[in-house]
Each structure stands twice: as C-alpha cells, then as structure tokens.
Structure 1
Amino acid sequence: MADLPLSIGAALNVAELPTYREWLIDGQRDLEIQDFCAPKVLLGDWQPLVSKAREHLDGFKGRLGIHGPFYDLPLDMKDPELAAILSRRMVTAVDAAAALGATQIVVHSPYKTWDWFNFGNNPRAGNTPSTAEATIDRVHHNLSAAVTRAEAEGITLVIENIEDIDPSWRRALATSFGSDAVRLSIDTGHAHYAHGTTGAPPVDYFVTDAAEMLSHVHLQDADGFADRHWPPGRGTVNWHAVFRAIAALPQRPHLVLELREANDIPAAMDYLSGEGLAC
C-alpha cells in the first residue's frame, strides 16, 4: 500500500522524448514508448528506432515499457493464417522491447461488447467457437510463443481493457496463463467509456478487481461516451476514487498519462498534483 501522491509518467512517441526528457529523468518516471504499435514499425527495420530512443534516454533509470501491436490483430484471432501473423508480430514486439530494455508490453483485450451479450446465446455453447473458454484457448494458442520469449527476457505482457464490460473476464484470461509474464493493464478512459455507455462498473472497480494482477495503468480522462484521451480534470472520471484504489494495492503498477496531445501533460500534472493525487 502506497501513500498519495503517486509518481506518474507518460506514454510518448520517440520523437516526443526530447521535450520531456528532463521531466522523465529528474523523477525517473514510468515511461511507455508507443511507436511499436504501428504496423510499419515492427514490419520494418525497428533497430534504428530503438537506437534513437536509447540515445534520448541516456540517464533514464525509470520503469520502461512499450505499446505492442493491435491494429487488425485481435488476440483471439480465429483464422489460422492470420493467427500465424499475429503470433509472429507479438514475438517481434518482445524482441524490440528486449532490445530497448523495456520490461512491459501493452496488448489489447480480446473481449468485445458483443461478447458480453452473446457468449451465453447458444444452446450448443460447448461446441461453438464463440464461448468464453474457446476465446481463452485461442489467445493461449496465439500468444504462446510470445509468452515463452517474454519469460526468457524478463518482460511482462499486460492486457489492457478496451471494450470490456466485466473486468473479471480479462483477469481470468491473464491468470489462466499461470505465468509472471502475463498481467493486467487498465485504461481509465476505456473503463469510463464502458461504464457510461455499456453499463460496466466505474473505473475504480476495475482497479480493485485487477488487484495484485494489475501491473500497468493508462491515465486519461473521458466523458463516459467516447475514448477521449483528455488530460485528467477535463472529463468526468472520479480521479480520487481511482488513485485511492491504486494506492491501496500491495504493488505499484506502471502509471502513465496516455493523452491525445502530449503537450497536455503539464495541464494533467497541474490538476493531479493540485488534487494531491500525483507528483
């Protein structure tokens, strides 16, 4: 259990690192590099990008992660040809993270709003690929090579909520691997969207449900209608409840501002520090 305020960092592209280098290094803050989610990066020669990031981060000793690939690559991919592409891409992401010196990779939850309303909608559920159990089986198949590589490299894949309505589903998925290399991430804006639009519990409930499995948090504000990525204080997330829930955990997850505009970081810090929540 930690006391408030909590130290937080940011999710940034490599090109944005020079602007925030001093802030990151002075506080040895948590950092997530986001360039690696772009298909063109991991499909090409990503080594120069790693070298550029390491150059900008000379002197940085904080906790470091990357955002992994997700565009058109759901973790529960059914098509075997496409699943093979997903598997290879995730292994490449682990290789890139290892070269960078990162210890986390953010990946996206496979659970859709449709799943919540339809997993129990088939009397032959045990024989259809749309069951919750079949989803877990497909994710295991598709991520097995990446998880094995991550275990060898000391890297953790953290599964971020996207459309999730019931946070316990994602927790069960992560737990099912039985590996320290698979844990949970929470995006506060995604959770707030799901709360306001599809009846999910409020954001702090996501934190409490994740409990000791929570290793990473994207901090962004929203209005409960869309995925805004606003700086905290601009939307309607109950930040006091969220930070109290995080502070009550036995571990401190990586905490990074993931904002649509990086130049909103000072406004976010002003608000959260003014509320006594972050520093």
Structure 2
Amino acid sequence: MTDLPLLGVALPTSALETMQDFILSENRDLELQDFFDADLLNGDWKPVADRARALLSGHAGRLGIHGPFWGLSIASPDPDMRALNARKFMQGLEVCEYLGATQMVIHSPYSTWDFNNLDNFPDRSAYERMLEYCHLTMDPVVKRAEEIGVTMVVENIQDKDPDIRRILADSFASPAMAVSIDTGHAHYAHGSTGAPPVDYYVRRAGNRLEHVHLQDADGYADRHWAIGEGTICWPAVFRALGEVTSKPRLILELRDKAGILPSVGYLNRLGLAR
C-alpha cells in the first residue's frame, strides 16, 4: 500500500537518534521541535542544529521547524511588542536558513473570544484591525521568508472559525504564508466550543493547507495522544485530506514519542496512511 500518504514526525533533536531509521528509511518529513525555546534562540543554538544535521545526513524528506510561540502574537496592537515578535520570528527563520528547512510553524492570533466578538461592531473594522496588526508585525518576516524559500504555516490554536486563517494567509498574497491544521486543536474547538469537526477544517483550508499536526484528543483538552487513543474520526479526516492536492506535510505531533510507531501502525491498519 505504498500509495498511502507517508507520515512525518515532530521531534526534538535529542530524540532523533532513536528515530533515525524510521525517518531516513523512507525520507519522512520531519519537524524539529527545539527552536521555539526562547533560551535556546537567545543563546548558541548552532550546536543543536549541527547535531540535527549530522543525524539527518542523507535525509531527502522535507524539513521544517516549529517556530517560536510562547508569549508571542502575530497580531499585537502594541508597536513595541510587534517589534519583539518580529525579531523572534526572524530568529526562527535564521535557524531555517542554517538548516535548509523550508517550513516554519507559527500560531494563529485568533481566539474563541474573537469568534464571539469580532462581529460585535457595525462594520468589518475589528477584522480589518486584526489583519492590519498581523501585517505590521509580519510583512518584513514574510519578505525574509520569501528570500530564503521558507513557508510559514499558521496553525489553529483556539480558532473556532475554520476559514479565518486561510483569509489571513491569503491577505499576504505570498507563497511564504500558508495554512496549518492541528487535528487535536480542531477537535478541542469542536468538542468544547461548538466548532465544526476536524474534516471540515481540512476542507475549508483546501489547497492552502500545507501542514498538518496529527494528534488524537477527546474534544476537551489539547491531549497530543497517540492516534487511536482519542475520539477523532480518522477516516473522515483522511478522506478530506485525499481531496487536497497541495501535498501537506502530515506530521505526528505526540506528547509521548513512544506512541509514534503505534500511531503509524494504527493508521496503516485502517488503510489511511503509512
């Protein structure tokens, strides 16, 4: 069943050695999880990057990183915070350039509060302000990403509206901005805030979708469980993914890395992925 989608994985460099054969044997996509750490980015991150490069020698799959996100917003109304946020994302892009990574995950600025309140005005001004703040922060970052061939993918966090990140990405009119879906975050929004189910998020992203975090959950919290441990309807998710032609990276992002191989086995037994 080699025509099934090939699963990738999100790992810190410290876990690469134990997963080396799994990744290199089929050149699976990889997302490195080290470089959202502020202490690492503000210090000497190159030894970690060099270790990753050494362990990935010969890797021909697609490489990405999870960019910085703790305490950051790509839509801050404060100009001082915008400058800080832009600098942190530039640090992430510096890592991408050094590693030859072509994708960086960033977080959506939209919250559940936004879903309930952005329409609480007589016009579209609240939506327009959010986009304006995003552009004031991210325009120079997007320009730099274009220069080095990196696509930033905007991951849903609290997003209840499955369209809003696609609209944000489209507003940049750039190949350096695209859409990410985290299945567990979407399932949390579905179960706890009344958002659509996960497969709807996939369909609404369409061919702007270039990255997926695969994790199972219960619709209550951000579990990052192994696939099959939660209540996501995986056949529906993969049917929707089968309609997308943008070839998104399908990245297993699990809290317990021991669940990676069982998750691959579970999806393979269902005939959904390998």
- Measured in 2, the distance between the counterparts of 1:200 and 1:261 equals 27
| Deviation for aligned residue 1:125 | 6.5
- Measured in 2, the distance between the counterparts of 1:94 and 1:187 equals 21
Q: Tell me the equivalent position of 1:170.
A: 165
Q: Tell me the equivalent position of 1:155.
A: 150
Q: Tell me the equivalent position of 1:265.
A: 260
Tell me, yes or no, if the aligned pair for 2:36 and 2:66 is still in contact at 8 Å: yes
TM-score, normalised relative to structure 1: 0.95
Q: Which runs of 5+ in 1 are unaligned?
A: none
Q: Tell me the equivalent position of 2:37.
A: 38
Q: Which amino acid in 2 is paired with 1:172?
A: I
Matches within 5 A, 1:1-279: 5-123=4-122, 126=125, 131-279=126-274
Q: Which runs of 5+ in 2 are unaligned?
A: none
Counterpart secondary structure, 1:121: coil
Q: Which amino acid in 2 is paired with 1:213?
A: R
- Measured in 1, the distance between the counterparts of 2:84 and 2:187 equals 32
Higher relative contact order (CA 8 A, sep 6+): 1
Tell me, yes or no, if the aligned pair for 2:131 and 2:168 is still in contact at 8 Å: yes
Q: How many positions carry a matched residue from both structures?
A: 273
| Deviation for aligned residue 1:24 | 0.2
Indicate the RMSD between aligned Cα atoms, in angstroms.
1.2
Q: Which amino acid in 1 is paired with 2:238?
A: F
- Measured in 2, the distance between the counterparts of 1:80 and 1:49 equals 32
Tell me, yes or no, if the aligned pair for 1:4 and 1:247 is still in contact at 8 Å: no
Counterpart secondary structure, 2:250: strand
| Deviation for aligned residue 1:144 | 1.3
Q: Which amino acid in 2 is paired with 1:145?
A: P
Counterpart secondary structure, 2:25: helix
Q: Which amino acid in 1 is paired with 2:244?
A: L
Tell me, yes or no, if the aligned pair for 1:4 and 1:276 is still in contact at 8 Å: no
Q: Which amino acid in 2 is paired with 1:176?
A: S
